[in-house]
Structure 1
């Protein structure tokens, strides 16, 4: 008698899926979590609690589809519904996750990691500065392809009135702290100077400070603010180079690259996509 060989069935995993299918699913992740995550992202973008219909629309789904996700998120504390208005907002677990995330992030470490690529992109020297005990202080310098002969190194203080870095802090740091630091620099009346006050307003409006040949002939600089998740100025990123090579136009390619780096850092620190326009409080 002739024996027929039966085709060997494909091996299955414990959940009944073929290995290739399981591997594919593993690489894709869990789609339902990704879909539900759009609701969380929509709430973050909105910055306020939303009715079900509006929240679903913002997440790109039907209200009937969104509701089960919101119920599950509510059970674990990612979402909560206001009992009076019925609006949905971020819940206590989401707030706790955000706060813990902010505590774990080191702004200087993030900025330093960005500086080498930024120096190459801008073709000039770049730096990061934070607010120190006496005012702005440079914490890292990354040399670019074009050397800049200025006395700038780690630990160098930045003049609030005469450097791009300093003007970012003068514009966005708390006014009382800025006034004290200006007084230590011998510029006690600087904030009352209409010219300087107008310059700081321009910095706040543009999100960019610009200095041309102010401290050293032939050397220019521009700087941008980096904000944290509470809207506070975390640090300043500056570009310094020969005036002939640094385009100070606020709409130029170098300014756009500098702003994009600051925006990326701000978002990693928990800031909203749109940076504050006035941080001088």
Structure 2
């Protein structure tokens, strides 16, 4: 299907890029359809795909006919669609070729550019949370984070891991930070409180003890095994960070985390709207 013959969606088209190659709109629309099917959770009806993609059912049906012929999408007797074997083969090849660290680094840099804030990516180790990539706040370069271990109980990324990792992994780290006198019960009560707060909000919100006046927000990033792989964090002086759920900073952080979950192959419940 040529770009000129691409069917009209009946919905407002996404905003045009400000710069870069013009591209082929029909390919980008097709990608939206595949992503709509990827949300699942099982086979998806045509009307649902169209609604998710922001296109008319007739336009989506034309794309699906080609996707079914190429094996990129499969259709069942009820007229519902799921991703097909051709895409599975491409996905397996991509899994071998894609550099996950570079993918995460690029998304973190883009998030920093979008928000104007500092960004850090953390993973978990036996010592607790570890920064594997960071980009300082470009406007307020007052301090410089270093890659490596950071506090568990007083960082936003640490609170993300406290909220979703197994207690047998997090309790020893919490006990070490609280001091030898801390009992298992004291550790568990603190971790229970962090877990309840973060899970209810879907993200962590922490004032950084080591950096007075600075705050941090962090979201979880899940992988294809539905395991918590990373915490994606933004940092800035509190007066410059918009923590409202519909504000630009938290909203962009959440969307970036969801997009990373999708690209890492996490189940749709971790990233779909």
TM-score between both structures, scaled by the size of structure 1: 0.66
CA distance in 1, matches of 2:94, 2:35: 16
CA distance in 2, matches of 1:249, 1:65: 41
Deviation at 1:254, TM superposition (A): 1.7
Are 2:46 and 1:49 equivalent residues in the alignment? no
CA distance in 2, matches of 1:141, 1:166: 15
Larger CA Rg, structure 1 vs 2: 1
TM-score between both structures, scaled by the size of structure 2: 0.68
Specify the alignment match of 2:9 in structure 1: none
Deviation at 1:210, TM superposition (A): 0.8
Deviation at 1:229, TM superposition (A): 3.3
Matches within 5 A, 1:142-181: 142-144=135-137, 145-149=139-143, 152-155=145-148, 157-181=149-173
Are 2:129 and 1:136 equivalent residues in the alignment? yes
Q: Which runs of 5+ in 2 are unaligned?
A: 6-21, 51-56
Specify the alignment match of 1:8 in structure 2: none
Cα gap change, 1:255 to 1:24, in 2 (>3 Å): closer
Deviation at 1:58, TM superposition (A): 3.4
CA distance in 2, matches of 1:104, 1:274: 25
Are 2:270 and 1:275 equivalent residues in the alignment? yes
Specify the alignment match of 1:109 in structure 2: 102
Q: 1:72 aligns with which of 69, 74, 98?
A: 69
Specify the alignment match of 1:7 in structure 2: none
Cα gap change, 1:66 to 1:134, in 2 (>3 Å): same
Are 2:55 and 1:58 equivalent residues in the alignment? no
Deviations 1:54-83 (A, max 9, x none): 34663424999799657635xx4852648x
Q: Is this contact kept in 2: 1:170–1:200, CA < 8 A?
A: yes
Cα gap change, 1:260 to 1:30, in 2 (>3 Å): closer
Q: Is this contact kept in 1: 2:223–2:261, CA < 8 A?
A: yes
CA distance in 1, matches of 2:256, 2:62: 37
Query: How many residues get paired?
Result: 244
CA distance in 2, matches of 1:97, 1:254: 34
Specify the alignment match of 1:218 in structure 2: 213
Cα gap change, 1:34 to 1:255, in 2 (>3 Å): closer
Deviations 1:221-276 (A, max 9, x none): 22122222343222112122223333444443321222222223222223356526
Are 2:94 and 1:97 equivalent residues in the alignment? no
CA distance in 2, matches of 1:244, 1:62: 47
CA distance in 1, matches of 2:127, 2:267: 29
